[in-house]
Amino acid sequence: MKQTKISELKNKLQKAGAEFIDLKYASLTGSLHHITVPIERFEIVAHDGVGADGSSLPGYKEVEKGDMLLFPDLSTLFFDPFFEKKTASFLCSVYTPDTLKPFHRDTRHIAERAVKYLQKELKTEAFFQPELEFYIFDNCSFKEGPGYSYYKMQSGDPEQSAYPVRNRGGYHIGPPEDRYSDFRNALVTTLSQCDIKTKYHHPEVGSKGQMEIELLFEPLCRTADNIFLAKYIFKCLSRRFGKYVSFMPKPLFNEPGSGLHLHQYLGSKKASLFYHPKKAKHLSDICLYYIAGILHHSRALCSLTNPSTNSYKRLIPGFEAPTYTDFAVGNRKTAIRLPKYLKNKKMMEIEYRIPDATANPYLALSAILLAGIDGIKNRFKVDKREKLPTNVYEAINALKQDHDFLFQGGIFSEDLLDSWIEVKTKQFEEVHIRPHPHEFTLYFGT
């Protein structure tokens, strides 16, 4: 952006009452980080960037080469509703200071490259619509040490049980059983204030305060931005209500898990390339190749779409969660579901039901797209049904064996995957070496 336009934007922000600029960016694992500068420095930051220490972020840089620059994407402007002083917020991309080129481990830049690669190869766009599932807790506590380990989650006062919700009976329940409709309304209102559009919200199946908010279809990069910011908004607003929001895939035993279902299609805002008027179920060949590509690479994708140790406590039999690489019409237990109630067949979409919100959305959406493109380019067919990984270490090993599809177009790099595997292996080992409370039930008296 030219200096004159930057100056004009600064004047507009000052006239709007902005006193600060907040720069938000994602780490390799998808956690949100930020740095705040006074409005007077906006022109300098927009033109020259602002320095940050990449060595303090897991998987980014070594201490000896930790310097990096953050440049705000001025098209992502919104006024942050959680700052006392009026603050204009921007999402940032990460650059290397010596070359001023995009940092190869910057996940937002990876998503941008994936979009450009799709346009180059297939002359089209990718659109995604995320379903954000999560639990609301009134109280939560957890702690561990050499001789103790516990967590306690509470949704609702157990003494006030006049309107209980039966186990797995929370889907679309009405008031007074649904105690959180006002909270969800506030979430949707705040999303709108931040220019994130919502399709609807409702209680989910879990009886202990499980909710869902579904956003609208947007291009891939915008969808990843929306997921990234929505998690921030949900967590901040929940604290104002004196509550806690968790996107953990399986925070409660024997209750439904929370996924990040991703509806998607290739095409434009007016038409989907997944539609064919004369094919079976109106599915085009491109759609079937795309589905086959995703399913073919799903075991490896799990390392990026389901990267937490907790993820695999959700992908188990007995719940509405996939356990195999399969697809069907209307079946909510399959990896890919073809919505049966779709009225406008020309906007044909598919729903990928494996991912969860512990994923970095920039990496997850990019990897899914590349798997689909690989299926289209190689004309894959759904020829076998494989079991999904049962733990994150198994998913990591699947990624080690199947990752070439991520290298097409130079989108992912071997260096990035090595860093990702290192971080996720360490997380797995940190959990694996600790005693589990249930082990005492099984073995303490042996």
The residues that are catalytic are: 53, 131, 133, 204, 212, 261, 332, 351, 353
Strand residue runs (E) in 184-323: 198-203, 210-215, 218-219, 244-246, 260-267
Q: Tell me if residue 134 falls in helix, strand or coil.
A: strand
CB atoms within 10 A of CB 431: 13
Contacts of 160 (CB under 8 A, 6+ apart): none
Task: Find the radius of gyration of the CA atoms of the chain.
Answer: 22
Contacts of 105 (CB under 8 A, 6+ apart): 28, 59, 60, 61, 94, 413, 415, 416, 419
Please state, in angstroms and rounded to a whole number, the distance separating the CA atoms of residues 73 and 75.
5
CB atoms within 10 A of CB 351: 18
Please state, in angstroms and rounded to a whole number, the distance separating the CA atoms of residues 201 and 187.
9
Tell me if 104 sits within 8 A of 36, measured CB to CB. no
Please state, in angstroms and rounded to a whole number, the distance separating the CA atoms of residues 214 and 339.
15
416: which 2 tokens?
């990035």
Cis peptide before 176 (omega within 30 of 0): yes
Please state, in angstroms and rounded to a whole number, the distance separating the CA atoms of residues 128 and 208.
29
4: which 2 tokens?
């004159």
**CA distances for 35 relative to 22, 72, 196, angstroms:** 6, 11, 22
**CA distances for 168 relative to 138, 273, 275, 317, 330, angstroms:** 19, 37, 35, 15, 20
**CA distances for 110 relative to 44, 61, 369, angstroms:** 26, 17, 12
38: which 2 tokens?
């006074």
Q: What angle do CA 293, 297, 300 make, to 5 degrees?
A: 160
For the chain, report the end-to-end CA distance as a whole number of angstroms: 69
Please state, in angstroms and rounded to a whole number, the distance separating the CA atoms of residues 327 and 349.
13
